[in-house]
Amino acid sequence: MKIHSLLVIVLFVSLYPLKASTFIDWIGSYSDDSLPWKIVIHPDKPPQFGYNHKGGIETAVSPSAWRPRKGWFVFVENDSRLWAFDGVDELLLTEVSADGGVLYDLESLSIMPPLQVMERLPEPIRKDVIAKVKKTEPGAAINP
């Protein structure tokens, strides 16, 4: 019986509509016609962040070291930016343009995450983000 319940939940999650400013914190597959993202979160494998460009070309990014741990989330900021936190210490930004996709980790981050992301990060990570972004973009820091 538990297996059937789990399958129903996973099926429901995989059909969940994906909108801008959406948090994802369930294992499963997410996509929607309103955004070009296709996101697949596995419990023990790297996630897949796919992006469908106009004209049928797909860009896929799969951060090899990222795994969902307690407190993880993915935040779809808009149709070109996606933030992923592993629940411990790995914050990633996936940015997509007509030229392809780029994956930024905390060390290479040069823009401040949206307030919704900052509010969900643990205090030490939030402070680390502010310090790193402030070095690359003076005046970008917000109140922690």
> 3-state DSSP call for residue 139?
coil
Summary mean pLDDT of the chain: 81
Give the residue carrying structure tokens 């016609």.
33
Q: According to the model, what pLDDT value does residue 112 have?
A: 94
- State the pLDDT confidence band at 71, using cuts at 50, 70 and 90: very high
The residue-averaged pLDDT of 31-56 equals: 86
CA 36 to mean position of chain CA atoms:
14
Interatomic CA distance for residues 52 and 22, integer angstroms: 18
Q: According to the model, what pLDDT value does residue 120 have?
A: 97
What amino acid is encoded at 27 in this protein?
I
Give the residue carrying structure tokens 């399958």.
7
Can you name the residues that pair with 37 across neighbouring β-strands? 51
**Model pLDDT for residues 118-138, shown as the tens digit of each residue:** 999 999 999 999 998 877 654
Q: According to the model, what pLDDT value does residue 16 have?
A: 56
Interatomic CA distance for residues 129 and 141, integer angstroms: 9
Can you read off the two tokens belonging to residue 110? 């040069």
CB 26 within 8 A of CB 18: no
**Model pLDDT for residues 8-41, shown as the tens digit of each residue:** 334 344 445 567 788 999 999 888 888 888 899 9
Distances (CA, A) of 71 to 24, 57, 68, 79, 84: 11, 33, 8, 24, 11
